[in-house]
Structure 1
Amino acid sequence: MSAPAPNFAHLIRLTDDTGLFEHARLAVVRREHGYCTDDVARGLVVTSRETDPSADLLRLSECYLTFLNHAQSKTGAFHNRLGHDRRWEDRAGLGDWWGRALWGLGTAAARHRSPWIRDSALTAFRLGTSQRSAHPHAMAFAGLGAAEVLRAHPGDADAAALLADAATAVGPPGADPRWPWPLPRLTYANAALAEVVIADAAARADDAALDTGLRLLTWLRDVQTGPHGLRVVPAGGWARGEERADRDQQPIEVAALADAFATAAAVTGDPAWQADLDRTVAWFLGANDADAVMWDERTGGGYDGLTPYGPNLNQGAESTLALLSTLQHARTAVPV
């Protein structure tokens, strides 16, 4: 499908010499909210995917890699929140930010055009693999980083072990075909859980596990499809038996689906997954419940959510990176 090229102007605007600011009022940075490892790691994923990065994007990658190294403790855990005063506001831990940090580092280690960034990212990634999180989402994000490393370094035992443990952490599918999801509730970035199962199955050439991952992703796609395009689970989540709200829909949900569809397409070669990927791009371009464009063409920023009153026009880091990563997939997708 026809899609705009990724515009990194707003990502550059959100980044200073320390890291990536989390929030914005419209397109203006809100420095008082500081930085978080979650967003910096996502930023490193996006900049590392660029095959011909500009000097500005190389600077962003260096900044994000430095931030993650600073955030990492000697145990391999990570701090998450850094104030604008450059002081950590939390203890190093193993929440989602640990998983996303390993995802960013793994992607940089496997894909970045700069050899020194690849080497430095791999060193930090390997330190992080000494840990395991009790949270399935954190493990899924870490597993996606491990899958990236394995594509570049097929014999990496630490990455293989982390990927296998991440797929196990997702849990087995439910017995009820009306709710096969392994968890009782859909929350956030749900597709990452199906994606890591698919990635692990592909790495081990396990057809049965691949079928399971694809079945989970198919169900997730189907329950997040509305009459006007994707209708992703709102910020409050959804469990079977609950009345499901159709807003506040978050761009991160759409981006997670795009990542998973791209992985499914690469693993299976099935063009139907490419068509699903097109639908994630279309959501940002207006094929959603509000017929609303979900980004600002003037700034390059992604809007923070789809509310009952239309887009939330603030352009924070998470939503901007969700837009950029989805458009990256659109640029590299094979036409169907």
Structure 2
Amino acid sequence: MTTTASRPSTPDRGPRRTAPAPSFAHLIRLSDDTGLFEHARHAIVRREHGYCTDDVARGLVVASREPEPTEEVLRLAERYLTFLTHAQDHGGAFHNRLGHDRRWTDEPGLGDWWGRALWGLGTAAARSPASWIREEALVAFSRGAARRSPAPHAMAFAGLGAVEVLRRHPTHTASATLLADAAAAVGRPGSDPRWPWPQQGLSYASAALAEVVIAASQLRHDGPPLDDGLRMLAWLRDIQLRDGHLSVVPAGGWRRGAARLPHDQQPIEVAAFADACATAATVTGDPGWEAGVRQAVGWFLGDNDVGMRMWDPSTGGGYDGLTPHGPNLNQGAESTLALISTLQHARRWS
């Protein structure tokens, strides 16, 4: 989680602007020769909090998604890949937290960071223009793909990495098996239209669970029905729209039958929704899902509950959360990566 920061003295309201191109300026600012620092106070790196595999993996995803990366972005991808291969043990699990002193503070495990590491490695293996990055990423992905996590979110993130690999290597058996297991871990939607979600609560990056089911329905001949994933995503979209703009489930989550709080909203939720809508639009050709991508972009530009933009044009950083009083002005890795990821989709659907 992020720390609080001072609020803006003058709310940034006014007319909506065209989505900017994704900027890697703040991501470069947050990175050094080891990896990607997790936290910042406003735009200044907080080195004392060190690095985490979670964020480095997400960094590798967005760097690998760039269709024509600059030399600086390509170097970021290589650096993030090096971090992930160092974090991985011989059995395919990953450390998550590395101190600024370059010492791991935890043991290798199979939590969300394992899933996100596979997502990053799979994306690099499929999309990087550099052959040496693709080859090494595939080796590390294949090692990690032999493992399984008991956590549905971790499995969903890993499954999204498997999706990337299968699109480039359709016969990659370990990816196909992992994707099937990821969709099974998410589960089937329920029959109650008021709560069709497979779990009894929404926590974080919820749309990723729907996305992996949608992708598995297309890439596995014995995968789940496409309607399962689309029904999950449609319900998630409907409950997160307020007066035409996106109002995502807050960091505290939402349990079935409980009151839903409006804040604090996290950029990761918006980015996951953009990813899932982009996948649904590609799979179905339904322009309604393109609108979901535009709503996610709009949330960052100020089309949200408080009418304030969620990024800093002067730094390229994303703000860490939307509170009742406006944005948390800290610009950490997670929020900046969520901004970049969402703006990457805007190239096609803004």
Helix, strand or coil at the partner of 1:306: strand
> Offset of 1:207 from its aligned partner?
8.7
Match of 1:288 in 2: 304
Name stretches of at least 5 consecutive residues in structure 2 with no aligned partner. 1-16
Rounded to whole Å, the distance in 1 between the matches of 2:318 and 2:128 is 24
Partner of 1:84: 100
Unpaired runs of at least 5, structure 1? none
- How much does 1:103 deviate? 0.1
State the number of aligned residues: 334
Residue type matched to 1:264 in 2? A
Structure 2 Cα separation of the partners of residues 320 and 206 of structure 1? 37
Task: Tell me the CA shift for residue 228 of structure 1.
Answer: 5.2
Conserved? CA contact 1:72–1:78, under 8 Å: yes
Q: 2:60 maps to which residue?
A: 44
Out of 332, 338, 342, the residue aligned to residue 326 of structure 1 is 342
Task: Please name the residue that 1:101 is paired with.
Answer: 117
1:15 maps to: 31
Does structure 2 retain, via aligned residues, the 8 Å contact 1:303–1:319?
yes
Instruction: Answer 1 or 2: higher relative contact order, Cα 8 Å, separation at least 6.
Output: 2
Q: Is the 8 A contact 1:228 1:288 kept in 2?
A: no
Moved more, 212-221 or 224-233: 224-233
Q: CA deviation at 1:2?
A: 3.1
Q: 1:303 aligns with which of 319, 336, 342?
A: 319
Contact 1:108 1:118 in 2 (8 A): yes
User: Which 10-residue stretch deviates more, 206-215 or 174-183?
Assistant: 206-215
Superposition misfits of 4+ residues, deviation over 3 angstroms: 205-208
Identity %: 70
Aligned counterpart, 1:237: 253
Q: Does the C-alpha gap of structure 1 residues 207 and 158 become closer, same or farther in structure 2, counting only changes over 3 Å?
A: closer
Match of 2:69 in 1: 53
Amino acid at match of 2:205: A
Match of 1:146 in 2: 162
**Matched residues in 1 for 2:162 and 2:143: separation?**
12
Deviations 1:93-140 (A, max 9, x none): 000000000000000000011011000000000000110000000000
After superposition, what is the alpha-carbon deviation per residue over 1:172-220, rounded to whole angstroms, capped at 9, x for unaligned? 2123211000011100000000000000001125696101100100000
State whether residues 68 and 101 of structure 1, in contact with CA within 8 Å, keep that contact through their aligned partners in structure 2.
Answer: yes
Q: Which of the numbers 221, 232, 236 marks the counterpart of 1:220?
A: 236
SS in 2 for 1:88: coil
169, 184, 199: which one aligns with 1:183: 199
Q: In the alignment, which residue of structure 1 is the partner of 2:6?
A: none
Instruction: State the SS of the aligned residue for 2:225.
Output: helix
Kindly tell me: are residues 68 and 208 of structure 1, through their superposed partners in 2, closer, same or farther at Cα, counting changes over 3 Å? closer
Match of 2:113, SS state, is: helix
User: Structure 2 residue aligned with 1:274, among 290, 293, 299?
Assistant: 290
Per the TM alignment, residue 263 of structure 1 is displaced from its structure 2 partner at its CA by: 0.5
- How do 1:172-211 residues align onto structure 2 when only pairs under 5 Å count? 172-205=188-221, 209-211=225-227
